[in-house]
Amino acid sequence: MEKIHVYVEQKWDGQHEPALLQFDADGDGALDETELWYALAEIGVGSYVTRSAWASGILEYFGCSTLVVEELLQVSMQHQP
């Protein structure tokens, strides 16, 4: 979560929602595995080889096939440094 916060602070002036919604290619308000992969790539999590495992692991952890951005924001805000 720390890398997400650093990315949002540095690139988006602390604005989490637009920072995450930029990866929502289909505009449904949620990030699927592919959209999450691109978000992790931009943020600098994992490598090209491991990023798919990160994305699927995150979705598995939350028990869903997509991450609703508003829910992700709530979790993210709880873990701010």
Give the tens place of pLDDT for each residue, 4-60: 888 989 999 989 889 989 999 999 999 999 999 999 999 999 898 899 999 999 899
Look at residue 73 in the predicted model and tell me its pLDDT: 74
Residue 75 has pLDDT above 60, yes or no: yes
Q: pTM for the full model?
A: 0.81
| Tokens 């993210």 found at | 76
List the domains of the chain with CATH numbers.
2-78 (1.10.238)
| Torsion angle defined by CA atoms of residues 65, 23, 19 and 28, in that order, rounded to the nearest 10 degrees | -60
